[in-house]
């Protein structure tokens, strides 16, 4: 029913607002009100090679985005995942102010969005290099919030800045009043024309009774065939509520054009990532009054190959990954942290 209503609304908007608006009294350019649709669909099969050899099919993402303008300088973005492992999630919903006079250098977003923090956590599913995100991207640094986000890119200087202030309450409920907020920001400098960029970020969250501060550093280099990336994240729990968490992600991607039937790109990937014991910041051990470890320490080696059909902004990827986990001796092996094979078909449009 939700999907049917959304499609009806989109069809109506395309019919009613298909024409361009006339210039207004300020002399600004006319606005094309037709929304731009985008999305990604990822279906997969996973099979563990230990833990009894369990398997499953899943729709990892079925995301649909709607982007558009309503007035000169003003726009919107809505992103919904209609099937994230069987669940519907509203991910982003914000209004944007981007003055034409600043030629797109300044953007102010008000609403729900990803907090500006981390490189791998900010990567969209259609541009993933691996079937499963790194521990930084999924567990340690993956947060969305409701608030305001400001981004600025300098003219003539390869520096991009982002910062935001968000509710401390969950994105599933925007009604609570609060005295504590979450903050996040990052800065990226691109070393032109070397293909190298450096990014640093800081994030302060308040998921429960304590504040958690994250610091992140990343270096990435790429050329015509290679992409190399190294990211480190330090998560500190104030008041000695839990030992600090260290997350790290080192990855390499090699890609080359090919002419294999319908495929035009082949790539291979390798990644070493891991984290020390991690807490969600909410679960407390009543005996010690300390935060409990909700995600055990572990390391992982991932190797994969991908064949792709890429045409402009559209792409199809068939991906094969193998994940080898390295757990502490006292960590129970579950399917989520078991060695596994993953075959994935991803469509990005």
Note the pLDDT tens digit of each residue in 66-125: 999 999 999 999 999 999 999 999 999 999 999 999 999 999 999 999 999 999 999 999
Residue 75, in any domain of the structure: no
Q: Name 345's Cβ contacts closer than 8 Å, sequence gap at least 6.
A: 42, 43, 44, 316, 317, 318, 319
CA–CA distance, 28 with 24 (Å, rounded to integer): 6
CA–CA distance, 145 with 343 (Å, rounded to integer): 32
Residue 101, in any domain of the structure: yes
CA–CA distance, 205 with 312 (Å, rounded to integer): 38
pLDDT at residue 40 in the model: 98
pLDDT at residue 27 in the model: 56
Query: Higher model confidence: residue 28 or residue 177?
Result: 177
Which band of pLDDT confidence, cut at 50, 70 and 90, is reported for residue 14?
Answer: very low
Q: Please check the confidence at residue 325 and state whether its pLDDT lies above 80.
A: yes
CA–CA distance, 255 with 257 (Å, rounded to integer): 7
Residue 345, in any domain of the structure: no
Which band of pLDDT confidence, cut at 50, 70 and 90, is reported for residue 16?
Answer: very low
The token duo for 302 is 């991932």
CA–CA distance, 198 with 19 (Å, rounded to integer): 43
What's the CA angle centered on 314, arms 136 and 12, to 5 degrees? 100
Residue 5, in any domain of the structure: no
Query: Higher model confidence: residue 112 or residue 335?
Result: 112
Q: Please check the confidence at residue 217 and state whether its pLDDT lies above 90.
A: yes
In the three-class reduction of DSSP (H, G, I as helix; E, B as strand; rest coil), residue 207 is classed as coil
pLDDT at residue 33 in the model: 87
Average pLDDT over residues 270-274: 98
Q: Could you tell me if 321 and 289 are in contact, meaning their C-beta atoms sit under 8 angstroms apart?
A: no
Query: Higher model confidence: residue 94 or residue 8?
Result: 94
Q: Could you tell me if 248 and 233 are in contact, meaning their C-beta atoms sit under 8 angstroms apart?
A: yes
Q: Could you tell me if 66 and 37 are in contact, meaning their C-beta atoms sit under 8 angstroms apart?
A: yes
Q: Could you tell me if 34 and 17 are in contact, meaning their C-beta atoms sit under 8 angstroms apart?
A: yes
Which band of pLDDT confidence, cut at 50, 70 and 90, is reported for residue 23?
Answer: low
Q: Please check the confidence at residue 138 and state whether its pLDDT lies above 90.
A: yes
Q: Could you tell me if 131 and 44 are in contact, meaning their C-beta atoms sit under 8 angstroms apart?
A: yes
Residue 167, in any domain of the structure: yes
Bridge partners (DSSP) of residue 45 are 57, 343
For the chain, what percent of residues have pLDDT higher than 90?
83
Residue 328, in any domain of the structure: no
CATH code, domain with 247: 2.40.160.10
pLDDT at residue 6 in the model: 45
85: left (phi over 0), alpha (psi -120 to 50) or beta: left
**Residue 224: which domain range?**
88-296
Average pLDDT over residues 193-197: 96
Residue 162, in any domain of the structure: yes
Cβ burial of 4 (10 Å; 0-12, 13-18, 19+) is exposed
Residue 152, in any domain of the structure: yes
- What is the torsional sign of CA 108, 112, 114, 116? positive
Indicate the number of domains in the chain.
1
pLDDT at residue 55 in the model: 96
pLDDT at residue 52 in the model: 78
Kindly state the helix (H) or strand (E) to which residue 227 belongs, with its residue range: strand 226-237
126: left (phi over 0), alpha (psi -120 to 50) or beta: alpha
Query: Higher model confidence: residue 8 or residue 339?
Result: 339
Strands 144-153, 159-167: pairing is antiparallel
For the chain, what percent of residues have pLDDT higher than 70?
92
What average pLDDT is seen over the chain? Answer: 92
Long-range contacts formed by 198-206: CB under 8 A, 24+ apart: 199/119, 201/116, 201/117, 201/118, 202/117, 203/115, 203/117, 203/141, 203/143, 205/143, 205/168, 205/281, 206/168, 206/180, 206/181, 206/182
CA–CA distance, 86 with 64 (Å, rounded to integer): 15
Q: Please check the confidence at residue 158 and state whether its pLDDT lies above 90.
A: yes
């Amino acid at each position: 029913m939700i999907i049917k209503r959304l499609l009806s609304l989109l069809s109506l908007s395309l019919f009613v607002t298909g024409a361009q608006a006339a210039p207004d009294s300020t002399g600004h350019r006319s606005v094309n009100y037709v929304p731009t649709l985008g999305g990604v669909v990822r279906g997969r099969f996973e099979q563990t090679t230990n833990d009894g050899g369990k398997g499953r099919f899943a729709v990892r993402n079925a995301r649909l985005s709607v982007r558009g303008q309503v007035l000169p300088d003003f726009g919107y973005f809505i992103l919904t995942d209609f099937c994230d492992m069987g669940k519907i999630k509203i991910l982003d919903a914000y209004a944007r102010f981007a003055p034409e006079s600043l030629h797109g250098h300044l953007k102010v977003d008000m609403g729900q969005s990803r907090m500006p923090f981390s490189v791998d956590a900010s990567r969209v599913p259609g541009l993933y290099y691996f079937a499963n995100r790194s521990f930084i991207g999924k567990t340690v640094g993956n947060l969305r919030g409701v608030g305001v986000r400001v981004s600025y890119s300098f003219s003539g200087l390869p520096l991009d800045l982002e910062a935001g202030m968000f509710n401390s309450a969950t994105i599933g409920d925007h009604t609570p009043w609060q005295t504590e907020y979450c903050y996040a920001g990052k800065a990226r400098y691109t070393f032109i024309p070397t293909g190298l960029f450096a990014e640093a970020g800081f994030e302060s969250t308040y998921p429960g009774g304590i504040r958690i501060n994250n610091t992140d550093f990343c270096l990435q280099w790429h050329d015509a065939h290679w992409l190399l990336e190294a990211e480190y994240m330090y998560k500190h729990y104030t008041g000695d509520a839990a030992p600090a968490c260290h997350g790290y992600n080192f990855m390499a991607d090699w890609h080359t054009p090919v002419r294999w039937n319908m495929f035009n790109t082949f790539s291979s990937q390798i990644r070493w990532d891991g984290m020390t014991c991690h807490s969600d910041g909410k679960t407390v051990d009543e005996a010690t009054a300390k935060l409990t470890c909700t995600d055990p320490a572990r390391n992982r080696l991932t190797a994969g190959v991908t064949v792709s059909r890429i045409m402009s902004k559209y792409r199809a990827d068939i991906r094969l990954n193998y994940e080898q986990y390295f757990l502490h001796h006292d960590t129970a092996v579950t399917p989520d942290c078991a060695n596994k094979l993953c075959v994935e078909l991803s469509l990005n449009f």
